[in-house]
Chain A
Amino acid sequence: MSLYYIKSGFESAKARPTLTVIMYVSNLIMGILLSIPVLAAFSKATAESGYANDLSQGFDITLWADILENSPSFLPTLIAQLFWVLPVLFVWKMASSAGLIHAQMKEIEDQDGAPDQDGTPDESEAGAAGADERSQRLARNRNTTRRFWVGLGSNALKSTALGFLYLVPTVIAILIVSVIGLVLAQVAVGEVGTFWVQAVFLPLALFMCVAFIDMMHDFGRVELVAGRKGIMDSWFAGLKWPFHSGNANSIYIGWMVLGIVFLFIPFMLDLSSGGLFIAFVFQQLFLAARAFITVGWLGSEVKLVEDTLE
């Protein structure tokens, strides 16, 4: 059953490539913006040093230490950037998710003022020929894009507010995990106990908590946008989802595993041949696929919520 929803999320994302493009490009733009100090510092330090090639070959801590010493503001700049990028990232996640949900949900009635053109992939492709098909596809993409931005525009604020509400269970969960960690630390004394509590239990428990609440948050947001519920209602509804729907859990876990794999591969590629142009291209392919996963992931959740609401 959950495979059906994952498949339909996949089909939904496939039928709306512009959504993947939006997610991928926005992510890339932020990456490029934040990488500018890196380019600046290293250009200044290495361009005429004669070491460019040696540095590209592998990690040389001697030269890195000198570079960092020569550009004392480099590391502080990298850290300072996080101060503005984290809030931006938070708001963008809330807003863009609303857009993604809106673009993928069924148009119950045409409140957006446009005819239903995006349809479902199967019906729109039936029997269409050559040029006609292309123009249809273009029109469909335009409509997807429009629905994304309309959804984003009308829900960004509400979605962000909902995001703040979900900080409450997050903080509570972290507190609970910390308390359990403290209790365990009393029981599991000594070096071995400390290792298992601090290096195994705590990271795992925190990860699971965060994922669990993120799942609630996802469904709460779908309720907000697709279910047209109020903020508080969506919040409560979201909190309940993981408990009353097995599908919700399996959909979330399925997409999460895929999401991790598609982040892990480019990361491993970076360890082996990071920065090489060809590696960079491959990494971007995986990151684009990762953007596709974000779209499909929400697509599945939208479908599940819609089916349940009916």
Chain B
Amino acid sequence: MDVTLRPESNSIDGKQRLTWRNPDSVPVKELQFHMYLNAFKNKETTFMKESGGVHRGASATVKDPWGSIQISSMKMVNPMDDFRPEIPLGSNSAEDLVDRITFIQPDDGNLADETVFSIQLPREVAPGETIALEILFESRLPEIVARTGWKTADTGNPFYFVGQWFPKIAVLEVPGQRYIPEDAEKGVWNAHQFHVNSEFYADFGKYDVTMRVPESYVVGASGVQMETSTENGMKAVRFEADDVHDFAWTASPDYLEFNQQWRHVNVRALIQPAHKGQAQRHLDAAITALEKYDAWVGEYPYTSLTVVDAIGGSNGMEYPTLITAGTNYGLPTWSRFLELVIIHEFGHQYFYGLLASNEFEEAWLDEGMNSYIESRIMDETYGPGAAISLGPFKLGDIELQRLSYAKQRPSSGALVTNSWEHVGGDYGKSTYSKPATVMNTLERYWGWDMQQRFLKAYYERWRFKHPTTRDLQSIAEEVSGTDLEWFFSQFVYGTAVVDYSVDSILITDKEDDQFVSRVRVHREQDGVFPTTLRLRFDDGTTEDVLWDGAERWKDFRREGTHKIVEAYLDPDFNNLLDVNRLNNRKVAASESDNSFARLAQRRAIMIYQTLFYVLSGLF
């Protein structure tokens, strides 16, 4: 591509050469494309209707925030010819295909939505044949609401984050790929409209993009920076990105640039002037993530990583080798949400970038697997209080993920759900926090060694491909040699809720200092998960009993000279899916202990006393 950014109209125009090879075993005549920027075209688009114009709290502030994308010309060219952006497409005598463009709405039939189009080529593309299309397009950037567009920075300078910005070919899924049956007669285009609750899906390719911007702008982009030249106050910056499935870039005269080398990777941070003091935090977090992923999942195959401190709604997003973070002036060090976001977005280089699952249909494979490893990196790197550590108030990331699943209607929203079909805020829970908790539980179920073998095998087998939930499950079953259907059907495909409790401890005296102790445990919900029951006797000895957790109620009886004084289900807290931990444990009435309540009361008294003095000072 060769494109020019025009700040006066917040638009980009240029020429794209698309080279596409038919992966199917039958000829193909239809192509499908994404025109994502059309999601911001007017109030009637599917994105606008679903979002009400608000995405993650960001909304438009100007009169005309709209964005769109238009193709003015599209022609088939000889793939062997050089790409010559300076030569007008009009000089090519091939048929202009622009009139063949038909917008389609595969998800909701909303005719006002023009984010996907289909085009019938003038001729069939033979199996394995490579064709080339040259496309002239103009992208009008929206004011940034959801990830992409323009914004005026605090400095008064323009800021651009350019994502989902060019006509992008969809994925033709061939028989045997993902869920297309092996014996299907031909492949099927997988294209979805732009939704509020969904990210993206595309094929791997090689991007070679020249971006022309005003000379004073600093440019960050996917891939590796090649040559730069300047002419008439404009700067042409060329980037090359191999084996990626998207290309995004950013430009602003404000960016301060910081670089640090980690092994084969040049880590580049583009920072807003106000956040200069946090530049090292950006680099450190990125390198932490690089190290952990390298050790736990596999090698990072690219040589560049750009961390962008972007503006507002463009923050917290992933693109191949380019991620956006987001921070605030004065962010204290006890809040590690900056690190969390960087580690998360970096993780997408694996779960999205390299393991390029379909984010429309199985977003949990990207967001959820990534949130799992993010929580693991956070807690291992920063210790207790990894996310927030303010005095005695410490919040770890694994805990944060668990709570936002366990305390938010845990019985609704399965992991495997089309993103746009989630209801009532389930998207966040079922795509991020629940899968993170499911995976943290799987790790505790079979141990970290097995989990690492599983992660590494999954990466090894599926990188640069489009793995599905089914593929992930078979790898897990393959490396462990066990049937995990019970696990996947309940917690990945289903919405089973786990909650075990100790119901009662009953002691009856028998003759000769003998006692009968009976512990009754209860499966409170539909989820079944094997667990350990730890019994403690009045002489201090303990006994661990394994329970498959299947029965609704179960009694454990022990006879002898010692009474059971405590029963504790899952004492090592291996099952993070158990939505209530408090009821997992009970002591006999003889060991009832009110010390914590009294301690809490003493604290409350003192805090109230202090508060009264402060309040009395106000009047």
Which of chain A's residues has its CB closest to B576's CB?
A62
Partner of A48, one of B391, B586, B605, B609: B586
- Indicate if the CB atoms of A276 and B596 lie closer than 8 Å: no
Contact flag A266-B582 (CB < 8 Å), given A190-B154, A191-B329 = no
CA distance A30 to B604 in the complex (A): 11
- Indicate if the CB atoms of A61 and B594 lie closer than 8 Å: no
CA distance A38 to B607 in the complex (A): 12
Partner of B593, one of A45, A52, A65, A263: A52
Contact flag A93-B619 (CB < 8 Å), given A35-B605, A271-B391 = yes
Q: Which residues of chain B are within 8 angstroms of A89 by Cβ–Cβ distance?
A: 612, 615-616
Q: Which residues of chain B are within 8 angstroms of A167 by Cβ–Cβ distance?
A: 619
Q: Which residues of chain B are within 8 angstroms of A35 by Cβ–Cβ distance?
A: 601, 604-605, 608
Find residues 576-619 in chain B having any chain A CB closer than 8 Å to their own CB: 580-583, 585-587, 589, 591-610, 612-619
CA distance A276 to B619 in the complex (A): 32
- Indicate if the CB atoms of B619 and A217 lie closer than 8 Å: yes
Q: Which residues of chain B are within 8 angstroms of A287 by Cβ–Cβ distance?
A: 606, 609-610, 613
Find residues 190-207 in chain B having any chain A CB closer than 8 Å to their own CB: none
Q: Let me know if B407 is at the binding interface, CB within 8 A.
A: yes
- Indicate if the CB atoms of A191 and B328 lie closer than 8 Å: yes
CA distance A214 to B615 in the complex (A): 11
Distance to closest chain A CB from B576 (angstroms):
9
Q: Let me know if B486 is at the binding interface, CB within 8 A.
A: no
Q: Which residues of chain B are within 8 angstroms of A34 by Cβ–Cβ distance?
A: 604-605, 608
Which of chain A's residues has its CB closest to B327's CB?
A191
- Indicate if the CB atoms of B582 and A52 lie closer than 8 Å: no
Partner of B596, one of A28, A55, A90, A256: A55
CA distance A214 to B613 in the complex (A): 13
Q: Let me know if A154 is at the binding interface, CB within 8 A.
A: no
Interface centre among B154, B403, B582, B595 (most CB of A within 10 A): B582
Partner of B610, one of A42, A65, A266: A266
- Indicate if the CB atoms of A51 and B585 lie closer than 8 Å: yes
The stretch among B95-103, B334-342, B394-402, B460-468 that forms the contact with chain A is B394-402
Q: Let me know if B295 is at the binding interface, CB within 8 A.
A: no
Contact flag A27-B613 (CB < 8 Å), given A56-B599, A62-B403 = yes
- Indicate if the CB atoms of A270 and B596 lie closer than 8 Å: no
- Indicate if the CB atoms of A195 and B329 lie closer than 8 Å: yes
Q: Which residues of chain B are within 8 angstroms of A280 by Cβ–Cβ distance?
A: 602, 605-606
Q: Which residues of chain B are within 8 angstroms of A61 by Cβ–Cβ distance?
A: 394-395, 399, 403
- Indicate if the CB atoms of A31 and B606 lie closer than 8 Å: yes
Q: Which residues of chain A are within 8 angstroms of B595 by Cβ–Cβ distance?
A: 52-53, 56
Q: Which residues of chain A are within 8 angstroms of B610 by Cβ–Cβ distance?
A: 263, 266-267, 287
CA distance A32 to B608 in the complex (A): 8
Find residues 243-271 in chain A having any chain B CB closer than 8 Å to their own CB: 256, 259, 263, 266-267, 270-271
Q: Which residues of chain B are within 8 angstroms of A38 by Cβ–Cβ distance?
A: 597, 600-601, 604
- Indicate if the CB atoms of B605 and A189 lie closer than 8 Å: no
Q: Let me know if A227 is at the binding interface, CB within 8 A.
A: no
CA distance A14 to B457 in the complex (A): 76
- Indicate if the CB atoms of B601 and A42 lie closer than 8 Å: yes
Q: Which residues of chain A are within 8 angstroms of B596 by Cβ–Cβ distance?
A: 42, 46, 51-53, 55-56
Q: Which residues of chain A are within 8 angstroms of B581 by Cβ–Cβ distance?
A: 62-63, 66
Which of chain A's residues has its CB closest to B536's CB?
A50
CA distance A175 to B600 in the complex (A): 39
- Indicate if the CB atoms of A39 and B597 lie closer than 8 Å: yes
Q: Which residues of chain A are within 8 angstroms of B616 by Cβ–Cβ distance?
A: 89, 93, 294
Q: Let me know if B479 is at the binding interface, CB within 8 A.
A: no
Q: Which residues of chain A are within 8 angstroms of B604 by Cβ–Cβ distance?
A: 31, 34-35, 38-39
- Indicate if the CB atoms of A275 and B609 lie closer than 8 Å: no
- Indicate if the CB atoms of A62 and B402 lie closer than 8 Å: yes
Distance to closest chain B CB from A196 (angstroms):
9
- Indicate if the CB atoms of A59 and B394 lie closer than 8 Å: yes
Distance to closest chain B CB from A53 (angstroms):
7
- The number of chain A residues touching the other chain, given as a range, is 35 or more
Q: Let me know if A205 is at the binding interface, CB within 8 A.
A: no
Interface centre among B402, B568, B597 (most CB of A within 10 A): B597
Find residues 89-119 in chain A having any chain B CB closer than 8 Å to their own CB: 89-90, 93-94
Find residues 265-284 in chain B having any chain A CB closer than 8 Å to their own CB: 274
- Indicate if the CB atoms of A50 and B615 lie closer than 8 Å: no
CA distance A28 to B585 in the complex (A): 35
Distance to closest chain A CB from B256 (angstroms):
14
Q: Which residues of chain A are within 8 angstroms of B274 by Cβ–Cβ distance?
A: 190-192
Q: Which residues of chain A are within 8 angstroms of B568 by Cβ–Cβ distance?
A: 50
Q: Which residues of chain B are within 8 angstroms of A62 by Cβ–Cβ distance?
A: 399, 402-403, 573, 581
Distance to closest chain A CB from B154 (angstroms):
3
Per-residue 0/1 for A6-46: is the Cβ within 8 Å of any B Cβ (1 yes, 0 no)?
00000000000000000000011011101110110011011
Contact flag A51-B582 (CB < 8 Å), given A32-B605, A35-B604, A283-B606 = yes
Which of chain B's residues has its CB closest to A283's CB?
B606
Partner of B599, one of A90, A170, A266, A276: A276
Q: Let me know if A163 is at the binding interface, CB within 8 A.
A: yes
Q: Which residues of chain A are within 8 angstroms of B605 by Cβ–Cβ distance?
A: 28, 31-32, 34-35, 280
- Indicate if the CB atoms of B393 and A59 lie closer than 8 Å: yes
Q: Let me know if A69 is at the binding interface, CB within 8 A.
A: yes
Which of chain A's residues has its CB closest to B392's CB?
A59
- Indicate if the CB atoms of A39 and B613 lie closer than 8 Å: no
CA distance A96 to B104 in the complex (A): 77
7 contacts between A and B (CB under 8 A): A30-B609, A42-B601, A61-B394, A65-B403, A66-B581, A211-B617, A263-B610
Binding site for B on A (CB under 8 A): 27-28, 30-32, 34-36, 38-39, 42-43, 45-53, 55-56, 58-59, 61-63, 65-67, 69-70, 86, 89-90, 93-94, 163, 166-167, 170, 189-193, 195, 199, 210-211, 214, 217, 256, 259, 263, 266-267, 270-271, 274-277, 280, 283-284, 287, 290, 294
Binding site for A on B (CB under 8 A): 154-155, 274, 328-330, 391-395, 399, 402-403, 406-407, 566, 568, 573, 580-583, 585-587, 589, 591-610, 612-619
8 nearest A-B residue pairs (beta carbon): A190-B154, A66-B582, A275-B599, A42-B597, A35-B604, A52-B596, A52-B593, A31-B608
- Beyond the given pairs A47-B597, A51-B596, A52-B595, 16 more chain A to chain B contacts, judged by CB atoms under 8 angstroms and listed by A's residue number, are A28-B605, A31-B609, A32-B605, A42-B601, A49-B583, A49-B587, A50-B586, A56-B595, A62-B573, A65-B407, A89-B615, A190-B274, A191-B154, A191-B274, A192-B329, A274-B602
